[in-house]
Each structure stands twice: as C-alpha cells, then as structure tokens.
Amino acid sequence: MQAALRAAGYRQPTAIQAAAIPAALSGRDVIGAAQTGTGKTAAFLIPMIERLGAARATCPDASALVLAPTRELAEQTYGWSQRFGSGLRPTVVVGGVAYGPQLKALRSRPAVIIATPGRLVDHIERGTVVLGGVRILVLDEADRMLDMGFKPQLDRIMRALPTARQTLLFSATMPADLGALARMHLRDPIRVAVGRQAVPPSRAEQDVYVVEHQHKTPLLLSLIAGNDGTVLVFTRTKHRTDRLARSVRNAGHAVQRLHSDRSQSQRREALEGFRDGRYRILIATDIAARGIDVAGIRRVINYDLPHTVEDYVHRVGRTARADARGHASSFAAPEERSQLHAIERHIGSALPRRRHESSRVAS
C-alpha cells in the first residue's frame, strides 16, 4: 500500500484521510463528511483494502462493496481501487453497458464490487451476484444517491447484505434523510467531519454575470476564447447540453458533451478525452458535478444556475481541487435572481458581479 501511495504521488494525508483512516482501520463504522476535492475516495479505499486483504487471509470469499451514484464516479473509483488494490481484484457494475462481461466478472467472485445501485439491484433480482461474503460496505456520495431517488434500491441492497459487516458512509453534505439512513444501517458510527462541508473550496474564485438568456451563448464563447485552460460548463438540461456543444464546436473549439442519454461508451470517451486534453471544453449536466476528479480544471462555468445550492457547491468543487486554484463563473438570467440569492445566502457572501463587452448584461 505504501508503494502504491508513493506511486500515486501521495506524501501527506488530507484532513479527512487523517481523521477517517485510523477509525476505519479499527473496524468501526464511519460517517465521513468533508468538502468536495479533499480526498474522500482514498479515505475509504485505503482502510477498506487493508482490512479486506487481512480478512481474505483467513476467509478467501470475503469481499467489499462500494456503491456510487453515477457510472462516472463508479468507474473512477474502480481505477483508484486498481492502483491501491494490492492484488485484490475489483470489478465495476454499472448500467448502460452489456450484461455479458459483468456476468463473467461476477461469476469469478471478485474481491471488490464497485456498482451503481440500479444495475446492482438488477443483478440481485436475477440471482447473478453473491453478496453473502461482503465484509465492508461503502456508500460514496450517499446524499447524492438519495437525491437521485435511489433509496428503494439502497434498501433492497441492504437486505441482501450480511448484517455483520463494517459500513463506511462518505458524503459532502449531511441532510436529515441521510441521518435516517445512517441510523437504520450503521452501528454506533464514528462521525468524522472536516471543515465546512456545504461550501465551495476557498481557493475557487467565484463571480456572476447577470445576463439576459439570449446573450448567454455569446458570453460563453467570449469567455472560452479568453481562457487557454480546460473549461467545464454546466447546463440544466440534456437538450441544452447538445445545442450548446454544437455552438461551441462551430466556433472552432475542441468540445465534448456528457449527459445521461449518451451511451456509457460515449460518456467514458468524453470524460477520458477531457482528462487527457483531447477536449479542452466539456459541457455537461449535473451528472458531472459529483465526485468526478479531473486534475487542473481551470474554470467552471454555470451556464444555467443549478436547482439547489448543494449542486452549486459540487459544481464549483470540480475546480480548485487539492492544492490548486480555480475560477467559477455563473450566468444568471433575470428570472434566476431568486436562485442566485439563495446561493449567496448559503455561502454567506455576495458573488462579485462582472460585466463583459461581448454581451449585453441585464441591469
């Protein structure tokens, strides 16, 4: 594990890692809360892999299960589990792909299953997954799973798991319904909270353009042209994501789009292309707001304001990750003023208003 951490560039634990890893290594259930971009994935993978490796020395069928709200986050966690895994074989079980390869992987009884709730329930109902050996359960971005309506699937999965297990629940926010879920499924958990969870990273410069809706696209194109780094643009709908990507591509930029109507192979290619620099701009719905770790995103632009202040926090958290700095700009049409004011109340300060000569800004 130490060799894997050195190879990954880890030198010192983040605050959430330093607080959560010893508690999880002791075998206790853990509720971990910290700002996005602070290293929660390693905070649960490191103790999970260490404890699972020890358990399999005496019980070869012992396994771990990690649940994540989106396919992208599940695949990202799968990648990190391979780097940290110390010979423990993981597999990823998500929707949008063929069942055949997943069935083959599950028949081989992998040590670690990383899954989205919907597809895992499909396998439970088909009888194609065995969860009786699960010793450690991880609920990653648990609040987002509840926001996405996965509580029935989570309850079904819990019924299929052994009661004698360790449960690690990690999230960036802790709403009341998450507390109810914890009380139902965790045993005397240790609570680890680091910093102010429901606020954007302090290293992210934030501002807002109050602009008529029809002038948002010219403003976006102007900001993109003036920025030579990677840009992640959030929209509210899949249709707008597609339309905006066409406009940005027609302006000569390397762009890709990400939303739930795209196939899993298309979503994977978009995200990998954004990571490796083939696409400088990624336009996405909130599917990309939670947990997705792309190093060095220079700017986040909220083309549409999100539905909730929590989603604003997670969108902004895609930049200024780890020790980096970043910039997050939001476009607010006049009819979105109430959402803008709600965001400002939540973060405790007014966002600086910006003007740009390329766009007529609403007064």
- The per-residue pLDDT for range 339-348, each reduced to its tens digit, is 999 999 988 8
> What single letter denotes the amino acid at residue 29?
D
Q: Which of 224, 324, 244, 228 is nearest to 285 (CA)?
A: 244
Number of Cα atoms under 13 Å in the Cβ half of residue 99: 10
| pLDDT score for 36 | 66
The CATH code of domain 204-347 reads: 3.40.50.300
Q: Is the pLDDT of residue 173 over 90?
A: no
- Is there a contact between 152 and 56 (Cβ–Cβ < 8 Å)? no
**Which strand (E) or helix (H) includes residue 8?**
none
Tokens (6 digits) for 8:
């990954």
Residue-range domain boundaries for the chain: 2-194, 204-347
List of residues 6+ apart from 57 with CB closer than 8 A? none
Residue the block writes with tokens 């499909």: 122
Where b means 16+ CB within 10 Å and e means fewer, 198-236 reads bbbbeebebebbbbeeebbbebbbebbeebeebbbbbbb
Tens digit of each residue's pLDDT (9 = 90 or more) over 61-88 = 999 999 999 898 999 999 999 999 778 9
Hey, which residues does 256 pair with through a beta bridge?
A: 282
pTM of the model: 0.74
DSSP state of 237: S
pLDDT class for 362, splitting at 50, 70, 90? very low
What pLDDT sits at residue 361? 45
Q: Is the pLDDT of residue 136 over 60?
A: yes
Q: How confident is the model at residue 295 (pLDDT cuts 50, 70, 90)?
A: confident
Same fold for the domain at 2-194 and the one at 204-347?
yes
Q: Which CATH class is domain 2-194?
A: alpha beta
Per-residue pLDDT tens over the stretch 23-34:
999 999 999 987
**Quick one: the chain helix, strand, coil %, rounded to 5?**
45, 20, 35
Mean pLDDT, the chain, whole residue set: 89
Which has more confidence, 319 or 26?
26
**For the residues 293-309, what does the mean pLDDT come to?**
88
Sequence-ordered alpha helix ranges (H) in 227-290: 238-250, 264-276
Max distance between CA atoms of the chain, in angstroms, equals 69
CB atoms within 10 A of CB 56: 18
